């Protein structure tokens, strides 16, 4: 198999070797336990590392948009700036606030971070690099990611602060509406690819990404997914829950230290998660660029490890999201809800129907050309 030798940097060989070694040395029970712990540690470590990288990248890209230089003091090009920031946040005092609902107040950040990590675990980062691969992967991702809103509502409710309260209520309205759009946009693609399992979905996009396969309908779904995904991350023109010019910091006004850090990390990781689901569902995930019939070209593409393909596509979407965030002014709450309920949702429903018709009548690109 030429392919096996052509992928020197793929991580799945390493993982299967570790798996074999563990199973050889230990009873199955212990091997699986150790593997689970390892995977857990790895996911949390990647999560933290990605957050640090993302914060740095965002600050540099924002500086680029805003004709500034950005962090440039800590290390060459300021690359250790976020490390310093994270260290600061870790050792900061957690300020205790009078007259709050203590239990809910201290639980809220965990809801957010846990929901975000749960979603994170289901993302296929590369060939064989997926912690959980449910056969209802898309459904799982949608449902688990919406747990985060509970944390936001709890934070706003328990803070005993009117700004936080307004922020949380806005957030609730926003999340509930845009979940719907994001969900239906993803469902459109589920109809197209006929599966909810993320790994199969990636595999099925080998020669034709879903966004091309479903042409008009998939493109519309992609745009809607980007808008609503953006809204779900509370960023960009949709950052009403924490609209700093009105509500200081919205639902997390009263948090400090690591608890604030949780909100902050989750915000950045949610951006990553939304981008990676977008890349997986619409842009072929970790699958290298493949063109049917061009065998040598395809093999050449496989030399680039699959996780690099994945991160490349995600980076593209993240850059796009930053671009939007730093260009547009903020929407007002009624405009935001109008956009969702009066425009996106009807378009989305019609689009889903169109996709069903496309698939049934065999008008997708793969149906036509292969």
Partner 1 sequence: MEQIQAQIKNQFPDIDTEEGEILKIKVSPKELRSIIDFLYHYKNLPFNFLKYMIGTDEGETLRVSYILSSSVNPAVNIMVITGTDNRENPLLYTVTDFYNTAQFNEREIYALLGIRFINNPDMRKFFLNQDWVGYPLRKDYDPNPALNPVSVESREINDNSFVIRELPDGSISEEVTKIFDDDDYIINIGPQHPSTHGVMHFRTALDGEVVKKIDIHSGYIHRGIEKLSENLMYPQILHFTDRLDYLSANINRHALCMCVEKATGIEVPERAQYIRTIMDELNRIDSHLLAWSAHTNDLGATTAFIYGMREREIILDIFEKICGGRLIINQNVIGGVMFDIYPEFQKDVKNFIPYMRSRLKEYDRFFSHNVIALGRMKNVGILNIKDAISHAVTGPSGRASGWSCDVRKYNPYALYDKVEFREIIRTEGDSYARYMNRLDEIEESLHIIEQLIDNIPDGEFCAKTKAIIRLPEGEYYQNVEAGKGLFGVYIESRGDKTPYRLKFRSPSMSLVAVMPLICKGEKISDFIGIGGSMDYVIPDIDR
Indicate the burial class of 167 (C-beta count within 10 angstroms; 0-12, 13-18, 19 or more): buried
Quick one: 238 or 263, whose CB is closer to partner 1?
Answer: 238
Q: Indicate whether 342 belongs to the interface with partner 1 (CB under 8 A).
A: no
For residue 239, state whether it binds partner 1 (rule: CB under 8 A).
yes
Query: Site for partner 1 (CB under 8 A): which residue of 156, 237, 241, 261?
Result: 237
Among positions 147-206, residues that touch partner 1 (CB under 8 A) are 162-163, 166, 170
278, 164, 165: which is closest to 228 by C-alpha?
278
Residue 115 in the binding site for partner 1 (CB under 8 A): no
Could you say whether residue 341 binds partner 1 (CB under 8 A)? Answer: no
| Complex with partner 1: residue 159 or 290, whichever CB lies closer | 159
Which CB atom, from 289 or from 333, has the smaller least distance to partner 1?
A: 333
Binding span for partner 1 by CB under 8 A among 81-89, 91-99, 179-187, 324-332 = 324-332
DSSP state of 168: H
Helix, strand or coil, per DSSP, at residue 64: helix
Q: Say if CB 125 and CB 184 are below 8 A apart.
A: no
List own/partner pairs for 95-104 with CB under 8 A and 24 or more apart. 95/256, 95/257, 97/159, 97/160, 97/254, 98/160, 99/160, 100/158, 100/159, 100/160, 100/254, 101/157, 101/158, 101/160, 102/158, 104/154, 104/157, 104/158
Of the listed pieces 50-58, 62-70, 302-310, 352-360, which binds partner 1 according to CB under 8 A?
62-70
The answer to whether 171 touches 183, Cβ cutoff 8 Å, is no
Judged by CB under 8 A, does residue 331 bind partner 1?
yes
Query: Can residue 326 be called a binding residue for partner 1 (CB under 8 A)?
Result: yes
The residue to which tokens 């449902």 are assigned: 143
Segment near partner 1 (CB under 8 A); pick from 63-71, 86-94, 210-218, 270-278: 63-71
- Tokens 């939304």, residue located: 274
277 contributes a contact to partner 1 by CB under 8 A: no
Asked if 314 interacts with partner 1 (CB under 8 A), we say no
CB of 328 to partner 1, least distance (A): 5
Member of 19, 246, 295, 367 binding partner 1 (CB under 8 A): 246
CA distance 304 to 351: 35
* Cβ count near 65 (within 10 Å): 12
Residue 125 sits at the vertex; the CA angle it makes with 120 and 128, to the nearest 5 degrees, is 115
66 near partner 1, judged by CB under 8 A = yes
Is 64 one of the binding residues for partner 1 (CB under 8 A)? Answer: no
Kindly list the residues in this chain that would bind partner 1 in the complex (CB under 8 A): 65-68, 162-163, 166, 170, 237, 239-240, 243-246, 248, 326-335
């Amino acid at each position: 198999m030429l392919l096996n030798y052509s992928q020197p940097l793929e991580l799945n060989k390493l993982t299967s070797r570790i798996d074999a070694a563990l199973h050889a040395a230990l009873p199955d029970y212990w091997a699986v336990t150790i593997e689970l712990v390892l995977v857990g540690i790895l996911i949390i470590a990647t999560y933290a590392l990605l957050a640090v990288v993302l914060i740095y990248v965002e600050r540099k890209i924002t500086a680029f948009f805003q004709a500034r230089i950005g962090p440039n003091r800590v290390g060459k090009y300021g690359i250790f700036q976020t490390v310093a920031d994270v260290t600061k946040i870790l050792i900061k005092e957690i300020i205790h606030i009078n007259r709050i609902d203590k239990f809910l107040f201290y639980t809220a950040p965990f809801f957010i971070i846990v929901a975000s990590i749960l979603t994170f675990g289901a993302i296929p980062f590369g060939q064989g690099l997926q912690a959980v691969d449910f056969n209802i992967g898309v459904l799982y991702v949608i449902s688990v990611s919406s747990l985060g809103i509970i944390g936001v509502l709890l934070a706003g409710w328990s803070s005993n602060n009117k700004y936080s309260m307004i922020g949380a209520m806005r957030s609730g309205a926003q999340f509930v509406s845009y979940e719907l759009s994001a969900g239906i946009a993803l469902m459109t693609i589920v109809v197209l690819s006929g599966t909810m399992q993320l790994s199969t979905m990636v595999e099925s996009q080998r020669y034709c990404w879903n966004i091309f396969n479903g042409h008009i309908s998939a493109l519309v779904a992609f745009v809607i997914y980007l808008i609503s995904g953006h809204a779900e991350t509370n960023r960009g023109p949709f950052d009403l829950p924490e609209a700093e010019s009105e509500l200081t910091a919205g639902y997390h006004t009263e948090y400090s230290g690591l608890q604030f850090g949780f909100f902050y990390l989750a915000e950045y990781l949610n951006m990553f998660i939304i981008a990676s689901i977008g890349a997986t569902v619409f842009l072929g995930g970790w699958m290298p660029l493949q063109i049917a019939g061009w065998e040598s070209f395809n093999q050449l593409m496989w030399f680039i490890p699959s996780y690099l393909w994945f991160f490349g596509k995600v980076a593209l979407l993240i850059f796009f999201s930053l671009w939007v965030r730093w260009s547009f002014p903020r929407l007002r709450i009624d405009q935001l809800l109008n956009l969702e309920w009066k425009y996106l949702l009807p378009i989305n429903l019609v689009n889903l129907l169109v996709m069903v018709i496309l698939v049934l009548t065999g008008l997708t690109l793969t149906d036509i050309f292969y």
